Structure 1
């Protein structure tokens, strides 16, 4: 049983203090609610509410606008929609049905553009809580998300700690490091430097496609690892049949058009067809702004009120959100008295691993929902070791949940 819907939450005040007269939230649900089986899934930067496949949904859109976790969420899958009531909502500021910069301002009849209020991860959480209230969902069996969706998960634990039983924070951290902040800055400058951006008021004219394309290419480089790029592209030429439509400069025609360039150009073209440039500015700023400890003495203090269980899941090849950052999150949980397990997956796919390796992501999430984290921690990296009998935790390579 699946639904795709949009709900009007009425006037919404953002944490910036600014308000809009109407916040519409696009959401999808899967399965049937029985009172205590609700699982909220938080999407990543350019994702949508379409987390799992629906009988009525085709592949008319590209990238994460499709069922972006369709191999993890669904009947009989790791997050089993025949057992759990799964809810996924598009975040405020995005462009997949929830009110954002490209939406019409009812007071002017024109798109908001950059008149849209600043958006934070906390605003996403508050909008999700309001949506769940409308759906009759109180306490969640679990809240799960990857990347900035994992930050959304962490915000749930500090903002509504009594509303969550279990949490899965996948490929995420308590904050971005300076290198990623710098790359996001360059990506946003690529958009705002495009003459077609026009101060964000471009909806009646040409879109800033070039700027958005460059921003997305920077993002894709962040999502891949050196090993995955070497394996996938190497230094190979894309071949004679693959030629740039317009070489960027006259000398470029002399040199090979490499596979890695062709890949980035292809991804940029797909992305500009489906995403809004202003939304990219708003969503990346929300991610950059997030700091788990903001308003608290420490990350441990921010999480201390959460009495449920947290699974932190990280990937060895991910330099966007590193294993070390995930372990720091787990350590903060231990300091705050939160039950936590940190599961480290051997992978050279980079940050994209949480999307492209469902066979590695699904099992620990399934175990989290079914049994929690009790008895699932061991003291070293040997998966044949017996479970740790103490309260200490350690990251584990390969599968923490293998038989």
Structure 2
């Protein structure tokens, strides 16, 4: 079966969420790249505020402007997904599906409820990572894709990957959860809670019914700034910004008096946060941010099982866990615990640790570190040179240093 790269919206009909509530019509936005041969499909799961626009969709035969954005100006993983890249669209048929609850083409709080003619707003059903997985399965069915060669994703997209191994253990040969864990730790739960409270404290919040008026942009901006601090490491913030002042014409928070404003500097790090927030509030919905962070925070791989290993016990494929030393959102220790659960479940697994100062965002901005082990694992599994991992020594190092024994020695 041959299938050209395409993009669009799939109507999946009535959809029942894990909470028990239903909506009459779930539409999901997707993008697909490459040609499907019946055995080469890869699903890429995007992170919290990502879209289906994961890579450059254009084929050599298409015009240069034939690239949808999925709500984002640039493809979010184009340094990994594309012709000749780690996830090679000349070899694989790559699909990315925007998740329920988002605002990038898939039904979410900002979508119109066909029963009322008004946006769902806070009446949209609570959505979970499990709902994302089931919606993706239905979307792939609609595209004619059965068993997957691999499922790949980072951050909460990595949780989505883990949920595939849990919900559909026979449907995927290889999984690559990157910069993720089986659950969010208490510190990150706390920061996410503060971010959500910033949105709800905005005077324009109006209980989530703001679509006919001004949206809670200030609250959403603060929430995004908290998120960006979580995504960076101390080292990367020091390298990027230090304590440098940004200049008086850059803006910044108001001070009580002009004299105070003239005295205290507006720093580079503040300027960066304000810039990122301004971009974000123009493209994202505040209700979606609340729903998606709740889905991430609520996810627990072991839910319904004795532990993580029990949840993964039915999976018969292979796994590559990737983590980054500068990531304090999902740490290397959390990733090693996840890899240990795979081992306990008798799943062939490798844990590849990347030395990085970039923090959580490393999986997005370090293609030279992420690409080689991903490409090798897709091609050869845990037997590949990039991810060697044996039963005798599950921490054995290789050319790409799959795990640092010094980090996880007994």
User: Into which bin does the TM-score normalised by the smaller protein fall?
Assistant: over 0.9
Within 5 Å, give how 1:322-401 maps onto structure 2. Answer: 322-374=331-383, 376=385, 390-394=391-395, 399-400=400-401
- Alignment-derived partner of residue 31 in structure 2: 28
Distance, in Å, in 2 between the alignment partners of 1:32 and 1:331 is 36
Counterpart position of 1:121: 129
- Report the CA distance between 1:351 and its aligned residue: 0.2
- 1:294 aligns to what? 303
- 1:309 is displaced (CA, Å) by 0.3
Counterpart of 2:382 in 1: which secondary structure? coil
TM-score, normalization by structure 1: 0.93
- Following TM superposition, by how much is the alpha carbon of 1:253 offset from its aligned partner in structure 2, in angstroms? 4.2
Distance 1:291 1:324 in 2: 17
Q: Number of residue pairs matched?
A: 391
Deviations 1:99-137 (A, max 9, x none): 000000000000000000000000000000000111111
- 2:148 maps to what in 1? 140
Distance 2:220 2:389 in 1: 49
Deviation at 1:400, TM superposition (A): 3.1
2:164 to 156, 159, 162: 156
Contact map agreement 2:53 2:70 (CA 8 A) in 1: no
Structural mapping, 1:49-68, within 5 Å: 49-55=52-58, 56=65, 66-68=74-76
Matched residues in 1 for 2:54 and 2:209: separation? 31
Q: Give 1:202 shift.
A: 0.2
Q: Does residue 197 of structure 1 match 2:205?
A: yes
* Unmatched segments (≥5 aa) in structure 1: 379-386
Query: What is aligned with 1:206?
Result: 214
CA distance in 2, matches of 1:84, 1:59: 20
Matched, 1:281 2:282: no
**Who is 1:48 aligned against?**
51
Name which of 169, 182, 187 aligns with 1:174.
182
* TM-aligned CA deviation for residue 66 of structure 1: 2.2
Q: Is the 8 A contact 1:121 1:151 kept in 2?
A: yes
**2:408 counterpart residue number:** none
Structure 1 residue 235: Cα displacement? 0.3
Compute the RMSD of aligned alpha carbons.
1.8
Aligned counterpart in structure 2 of residue 320 of structure 1, from 329, 352, 357: 329
1:12 aligns with 2:15: yes
In the superposition, relative to structure 1, how do residues 257 and 388 fare at CA in structure 2: closer, same or farther (>3 Å)?
closer
> Partners in 1 of 2:213 and 2:94 — Cα distance?
39
2:86 to 78, 99, 104: 78
Q: CA deviation at 1:60?
A: 7.2
